[in-house]
Amino acid sequence: MSTENALLTILAEKIRNDSLVLPTLPEIAIRVREAADDPDVNLHQMADVISNDPALSARMLKIANSAYMGRSVKVTTINQAVTRIGLRQIKNIATALAMEQLFVSKNDVVKAALDKIWSLTVSVSAVAMALLKHYISRNKHTSLNLDTITLAAMVHNIGVLPILTEAERHPDVFANPEFLEGAISRLAGRVGGSIMRAWEFGPEFVNVAERWNDKRYEPEEISYIDFVRLAAVYADVLPADGDKTACYQKYVEKGLMIDLQYIESDEFKEQVAIAKAIFAD
């Protein structure tokens, strides 16, 4: 049996047996989520939780002062940042910003693969955020919201992490990037769904992580997975059926965009750049 087939067999067996080692949610994200779920928590207490992590604190200040939030008056404290972002949104925003902590490895080859995946994840997230922001501006009463798409997009490809960890034990696999990409394409969705369930995330996150690249699944109503998919096509992460224009037209007909011109407009590209800047170091 080839190394590649051996790895696929190992992965498939571990997925079936529920024995694949899944990544754990970053500790600071756990603390923020637990605090946000406390009905008695207030903004000051939430700010105290975030203040314990200097890296997250800096990122929260950055997003609070970003053009993405649409505010011109600068905030300088975590209390002010939490107040601006809001308790309801802080849970998903903080978790999304903490995701980068998982894309690390001491193995140079694995690290290079993770760096590439992280960069693509940020690109897909920025596009999805810009698309939903535009959609909300035209559909004020939608139940879809920006903090959820921010986190859903950031975890859409989280299933690659255990696969790369397992592949790290088979160095020959990394000499065949085409195989590794194929293994990720075939298995990452199932693994991603398992991670979302293990982290006790809601069904919208499970759905995105598990089915974003499964073209057999087409939700009837507009959902977060549509924005992630369209963003993945735009960022050349998900191959389009036919050319991109035909793919974009499908989402115009579904109602995600008002016309094809928007996704080629300077306004859209500016909104993508604004969203992407949130995740820059």
Domains recognised in the chain with CATH numbers: 3-21+101-277 (1.10.3210.10)
Percent of the chain with pLDDT over 90: 66
Tell me the pLDDT tens digit for each residue of 39-62. 999 999 999 999 999 989 998 999
Q: Is the pLDDT of residue 166 over 90?
A: no
Which pLDDT tens digit goes with each residue over 77-127?
Answer: 999 999 999 888 999 999 999 999 999 888 888 888 899 999 999 999 999
Write a three-state SS string for the chain: CCHHHHHHHHHHHHHHHCCCCCCCCCHHHHHHHHHHCCCCCCHHHHHHHHHCCHHHHHHHHHHHCCHHHCCCCCCCCHHHHHHHHCHHHHHHHHHHHHHHHHCCCCCHHHHHHHHHHHHHHHHHHHHHHHHHHHHHHHCCCCCCCHHHHHHHHHCCCCCHHHHHHHHCCCHHHHHCHHHHHHHHHHHHHHHHHHHHHHCCCCHHHHHHHHHCCCCCCCCCCCCHHHHHHHHHHHCCCCCCCCCHHHHHHHHHHHCCCCCCCHHHCHHHHHHHHHHHHCCCC
**Mean pLDDT computed over 216-244:** 93
